[in-house]
Structure 1
Amino acid sequence: MIKHIVMWKLKESTIMGAEQAENAQKAKKILEGLKGEIEEIKFIEVGVNLNSSEAAYDLVLYSEFASEEDLEKYQKDPVHLKVAEFIREVTKDRAVVDYKF
């Protein structure tokens, strides 16, 4: 099994006019919606940060896949790529960790 964890720091606002909190909730909703669209996802959880520390990220994705191949399929899936477009538009920083368990 592979765990895939991604954290994002969001822009305060975007050219689309949405504020950080609104974008965090929209990102959470569309990321969670991937579970029903991409069969390789075994588990997915998305959280919006409550911690006010400067070191904290605004949004986190925790997901599980059966194999590295399934993670790669997920990352190339057109549905994921469309979601990734929105996420890139509203984020200023990103961290990722993938590991076997």
Structure 2
Amino acid sequence: MVKHIVMWKLKEEAEGKTKKENAEIIKNSLESLKNKISEIVEIEVGINWNDSDAAYDVVLYSVFNTREDLDSYQVNPHHVEAAGYIKKVVESRIVADYDK
């Protein structure tokens, strides 16, 4: 199993929406990928409520059977579309991929 974790800090305002609105859009768009991309075993998106300066605003937790499945997910048009919006509203991003 492969775990793919991503965290984003969002801009206070972007694409005419607030940080909170964009967090909800990200959550809904990424979680909807489960029904569109067969390689996804599990996907969960959380919106942070901790107001620490060190905290990130949105976190993605996803699981794939293989590294190849993760690679396929990354280039899937549905993921590319979701990622395109995220890039417009994100201030910074961190990622970790690991085998379990």
TM-score (norm 1): 0.98
Structure 1 runs (4+) deviating above 6 angstroms are none
Indicate whether 1:75 and 2:74 are aligned: yes
Q: How many residues align?
A: 100
Alignment partners' CA distance in 2, 1:19 and 1:11: 8
Alignment partners' CA distance in 2, 1:34 and 1:20: 21
- Root mean square deviation, CA, Å: 0.4
**CA deviation vs aligned residue, 1:29-82 (integer Å, no higher than 9, x gap):** 000000000000000000000111000000000000000000000001011000
Unaligned runs of 5+ in 1: none
Indicate whether 1:13 and 2:18 are aligned: no
TM-score (norm 2): 0.99
State the percentage of identical aligned residues: 53
